[in-house]
Amino acid sequence: MTTTHFENRYAIGPNEVKGYDTQQLRTAFLADKLMQAGSVSWVYTHYERFMVGGAVPTTTGLKLETLDALKAPNFLDRRELGIINVGGDGKVIADGVSYDMGYKDTLYLGQGNVDVEFVSSDANQPAKFYLNSAPAHKQFPNKHVPLGDANQLNLGSSETCNERDINQTMINSVVETCQLQMGITCLKPGSVWNTMPAHQHDRRNEVYFYFEVPEEQAVCHFMGEPQETRHIWVHNEQAVISPPWSIHSGSGTQNYSFIWGMAGENLDYGDMDFHPPHTLR
């Protein structure tokens, strides 16, 4: 019995999205079933061939299995993988090397790793490994990055309701990668707006995974072209796929955290085309 689930999402252009209703937007861009107990779940997007997934091991470990869509004997033969734990303590074993993964720890696995397993320390409080993967052209060393080792930026203010800590756990100044970048943004209490001013970067895609969202609260994620915006309501442990032509911003009914993951043309974190709030429509 397979423990890996796979879903394919084709790329969609801005003109098509102008006519989408709520359900069409959610079907195309929302990944709402990533964290399933006892399984590995993947959504393969055709934006930079970016893959977003989740692995939730319980009583037994879960293998990183290859997929027919990859046409490769092993998942990481031509890919790299970023892993962030948003659950209980666990570990990732890569080709015999074990990496302890606490809450909000990040692990980079480079191209060429063959035998990868996800394990929880306690099945009653399982680890929840959030996964991002992108094509790789070169092998870089595996690297474990605890949250305290991230490059941290403190942005925003309480006056504009967007005071936040940006933890760059997997950018090129911290970890060598081919194109994958990841990090964790945590909103301060009383702040709810993320990623303002909104921006696009036509040279790469981005995916936002929202977590630490209380059960009765939600985040409204804004996407689309700056002059033709749309929104998707998101709940805990759900992700929104953001095409290169789209802004990616949001506001919650309470403070929350999210993981951002990117891949594309370059590794310049500041490569953004900004759109101030007064210009948005």
Tens of pLDDT, residue by residue over 185-216, are 999 999 999 999 999 999 999 999 999 999 99
Percent of the chain with pLDDT over 90: 99
Rounded Cα distance between 16 and 19, Å, is 6
pLDDT at 254 over 70: yes
Q: Cis peptide before 141, with omega less than 30 degrees from 0?
A: no
Sign of CA dihedral 61, 64, 67, 72: negative
Q: Which residues contact 173 (CB under 8 A, 6 or more apart)?
A: 151
Average pLDDT along the chain: 97
74 pLDDT above the threshold of 90 = yes
Please give the pLDDT value at position 1. 60
Mean pLDDT check: name the lowest of 134-143, 254-263, 266-275.
266-275
Q: What is the mean pLDDT of residues 265-278?
A: 93
Structure-token pair, residue 227: 């002059």
pLDDT at residue 15, as a whole number = 96
Domain boundaries, the chain: 4-279
Band of the pLDDT at 86, cuts 50, 70, 90? very high
At the topology level, CATH places domain 4-279 in Jelly Rolls (2.60.120)
Q: Are 62 and 3 in contact (CB under 8 A)?
A: yes
What pTM did the predictor assign? 0.98
Spell out the residues 6+ positions from residue 42 whose beta carbon is closer than 8 angstroms to its own: 4, 5, 6, 7, 51, 52, 53, 67, 131
The average pLDDT across 2-17 equals 94
CA distance 131 to 252: 23
Q: What is the tens place of the pLDDT at every residue in 120-160? A: 999 999 999 999 999 999 999 999 999 999 999 999 999 99
Question: What DSSP assignment string belongs to 53-78?
Answer: EEEB--SS-EE----GGGTSSSTTSS
Closest CA to 218 of 182, 179, 251: 251
pLDDT one-digit tens code per residue, 55-66: 999 999 999 999
Percentage above 70 pLDDT, the chain: 99
Task: Count Cβ atoms within 10 A of the Cβ of residue 26 and give its class: 0-12 exposed, 13-18 middle, 19 or more buried.
Answer: middle
Length in residues, the chain: 281
pLDDT at residue 146, as a whole number: 98
Cα separations in angstroms, 154 against 88, 158, 260: 26, 12, 16
Neighbours of 218 (CB within 10 A): 19
Q: Are 181 and 173 in contact (CB under 8 A)?
A: no
